[in-house]
Structure formats: C-alpha cells, structure tokens
Amino acid sequence: MRTRHRLLAGLSAAVLTGAGLVLSPMTANAANLLSNPGFETGSLSGWTCSGSTGSVVASPVHGGTKALAGAASASDNARCAQTVTVKPSTAYTLTGWVRGNYVHLGVTGGTARWTSSATGYSLLTLTFTTGASQTSAEVYLHGWYGQGTYNADDISLDGPGGGGNDTQAPTAPGNPRATGVTATSVSLSWDASTDNVGVTGYEVVRDGQVTPATGTSATVGGLTASTAYTFTVRAKDAAGNTSPASVPVTATTGKDDGPGPGPRFIQAAPYLYLGWGNPPAAADVMRATGVKWFTMAFILAQNGCNPTWDSQRPLKGGVDENNVKAIRAAGGDIVPSIGGWSGNKLGPNCATAELLAGAYQKVIDAYGLKAIDVDIENTDEFESAAVQDRILTALKIVKANNPGLRTILTFPTLNTGPNSWGNRLIEQAKALNANIDNFTIMPFNFGGAADMYAATVNSTTGLKNKLKSTFGWTDAEAFAHVGISGMNNASDAGENTTPQIWTRIRDWSNANHIGRFSFWAVNRDRPNWEFTAITAGFTG
C-alpha cells in the first residue's frame, strides 16, 4: 500500500528564491509583451486583481507617474495577474520593480522570485521556458497575508509574442444545446468549430464564468435549483485566437425537492490548503469555476489535544477564519480536513474518545460546520486499531451532539478496494454504530498504475462492495456512501490523471450516484482551474 504524500506532490508549481538572485538574462526577442506594464493608464487595464485589493497610485513610483498598490490583508495576498500569448518551447525573461514585505513576482505553474523586505524599489528577475504545447502564460504579483500594502512598477515580459503568422480565429461553435439538467448543473453540447490550423479547445461562458472543455460537450455545475441560465460557447486555437461566441442557449435547472426524510449527502469539495503552494483567493476560484465547497486542510494538534491549523494557526482570528468568511460570503462553504499524511494528529494525541470528540467540537463550534472530514492515514492513525476506534467513537459522539452534522472518513486504498486496515475501519464503523455518512478513498499512489480511470473505477467499486457486504446495503445505497478524493496530474508514484481522465471519472461517479467528489488540490490546479471546474460538475 502507498499513501498520499500531500506536500511532495506538484512542488514544481512554485519555487521561491530570496531577493537579489538574478538568473542570466536571455537575448531579447521582442518588446514587452505585457499591456499597461507601468500602470501609466491610471487604471488596472490589462490586470486582474483579487477582490478589490489593487489600485493605481501616483506615489511611490519607480518610473513614470504611476505604480501599482496591492493592499494585502490577513485574508487576501492582493494577487494581480495578466495572461499573455506566448510561443511553445521558448525562453522568456520576466522582470519587475517592487517594494514592500514579501512581494512576489512569478509565472503561474512555473518559477517565482520574492523580496523579504524592501523599503525602496528592488528589481526581481527570472527566466522560464514554456512547455511544448503552451500558448499562454499568466504573470502575477502578490504580497503576503498580513504584511500590508506593496508597490510594483515597470513590469516586463521579454520574448517573442505567441501566434506566429496565424491570426485567423476559429469559427463560432454551432448549434449549442442543453442535453441534461439537474438541480445544480446543466450539460451542454455543440457542433465543432473549424480553423485554418486546428481547434485546441472550447470555453463555456456564463455570467463571466468560464468552464473549459477539450471536446464538444461540458457540464457546468454549482448552479441554483429552478433557475434559468444562459450560456455561450467559444473556440480557441493553438495561437491563442478566440472565436466569436456561439448563439446563446438558455436552460433551467431542475427543482430541488428539499431535504425530506433521510436526504442524501452530496458534496463536490476540492482541497484548498492555506499552508502551502501559493494558495489562491477562494472567491476568485468560485467565480471562475462554479465550485461551492472546499475541503480546507489541515486541522492538526498543538500542545496535546488542542486543534489548530497546521499545528500553528489558531482556529479563530487568523487567515483561515478570514478565508472561511470569504468563501461563505461568495455563497459557498467548507469542510475541514482533520489529519492527513504528516504532522501532529489529534487522533493519537487525544487520550480518549471523549477528549477527541471535544477537540472536534471546538472545530465545529468555531465555524458552525455542516460536515467534518477526518483524513486518516499513515501508521499513527490508519494502521492503529486503538486510534481507529477512538476516531470512530469520537465521530459518533459529535454526531449525536450536533443534529444534522455529516461525518466523512478519508483513507488510502488499493487498486482493488480497501486494504486490510481499510476493511477494519469499515467493519468497526458498523460494529460501533458510528453512523458515518461517507467513506472517501484516495485512489492513487498504487505503485504506478498505467490506466488511472480503470484503477479508480476498480478501487471505488471495491469500496462499494465492501460497504454493501458490511452494512447490508443495496448497490445504490452503498454508492451513496462512497467518495473519491483523487490527485490531479502526477501522483507521487508517477501516475498521471489528466483533465480528460478526471472528466471520465466524474461522469462515472455521476452515473453511479456516489456521494462525494474531491481532489488534491486547488493549489496545484493552475493556471485555469480546469480540474476544479470539472469537479464542480459533480452532481452525485
């Protein structure tokens, strides 16, 4: 069995280096590719800043008469970004003048530079080479949480512009149509566009929110029941040319019949980790993808049996609480992930089930939670009979004390289903009458599975069969208690789950009406939040 090494996966997304380190510059191939690089328009034209954190100021400036001011707060790092068209397999140089504490300049999915403290303007420089099929790059600036306002000026991206001689856009997609609706999603199809070179993908647009698609169909999730929505579709080619929008198509979501007796628990909740990997502004991700829930990681122990974020940040009064408030203000919610692969866990540190239940209750009370997830991994929790039983009993206690609370167990798996420790966990959940709502497996790190779709379906079916035999459920009842928590792109074992594979897994999950769908992690889902958008189309 292999389990998840969360912090090791996908670390290539951002490598931060101290101020003053300058890589050897390349020969300039073109003028600055960025628009409004010195903010001399007096506006943020060309740039998109998180929330309302960005503004243009007249002082202090590095050159000209204007500069960017980014108001970083305890809950927002004031990220401002711009996307440009680039050439594949080509070297570029990015430079910028910044001042303030922990100001970052970088390329999404690539390298970043930062300065820890600069009272005057300081130059940051980095070089990067685009991927073999990369046609766009997102340049970003941001400060750091709680470090106050930073300034940036005279940003330059030097290199050849993308597109070459291809300036012809694809034709507009034809005959867009709704092919299915639920209370929270609309499925669409359309006729393919044509292009002089070739269409590389499509985008479904609703109220400014974009759902990417590689083929001629997509499901847009995170919608409101009994509501009419209007969609258009546009095509893109390798040169970055975008087609005109299709004719609009309008569809109305289905009726939400309300909870009723024994409502199903359904949740699409990708992981968001504030302790690593340049965490994005959750509200921006929600607007871009339609996702409503996040699994926020990780609640660990501090000084014994005391729950905190990452064993260091308090439950209340910090960046984590501010992010929860921002997510809820945007119409979403969170489920905390308690535990994980590494760190100081509550399960082993709380001596009794009653003390552990008390720790869980502190988390529930801090945020008025609807659900909690205990991510049980490694030898200290998953492979300990005593800790397994302690966690199950504690969850039984908090569920009895919090009517309506949903409880989730997340744990590793083999490619055939639960291993012996997973089987024991399920059997003990039955024996202790823990009334767990969802058993979520992590179908990856199988040792190098070549077909991640088949491996995920096999392991999930194995979990369903174990729940069916243990609890005496039907197939449908067992699937309703099943969850999948995947890993986007490369796993620690080198297995690759592409957006296409993740879409197939989601569609299989919808067809079998499982209860929960998640992946690790939004932090790694850059630059277009493609896996998050796919996950938002989970309807259960």
User: Catalytic one among 377, 381, 383, 530?
Assistant: 377
Phi/psi at 240 (5° precision): 90, 5
CA atoms within 13 A on the CB side of 13: 21
Phi/psi at 444 (5° precision): -165, 180
Say how far apart CA 219 and CA 539 lie, in whole Å: 10
How many CB atoms lie under 10 A from the CB of residue 540?
19
Say how far apart CA 496 and CA 325 lie, in whole Å: 34
Q: Give how far Cα 29 sits from Cα of 88, 124, 153, Å.
A: 14, 20, 22
Say how far apart CA 255 and CA 260 lie, in whole Å: 14
The answer to whether 377 is a known catalytic residue is yes
Say how far apart CA 66 and CA 121 lie, in whole Å: 14
Helix/strand/coil for 417: strand
Using alpha carbons, select from 379, 485, 506, 527 the residue that is nearest to residue 6: 485
Is residue 421 within a helix (H) or strand (E), and if so which, with residue range?
helix 420-431
Say how far apart CA 172 and CA 192 lie, in whole Å: 9
Query: Sign of torsion, CA 326 327 330 331?
Result: negative
Q: Give how far Cα 208 sits from Cα of 232, 464, 487, Å.
A: 10, 39, 28
Using alpha carbons, select from 453, 431, 514, 511 the residue that is nearest to residue 480: 514
Residues with catalytic annotation? 377
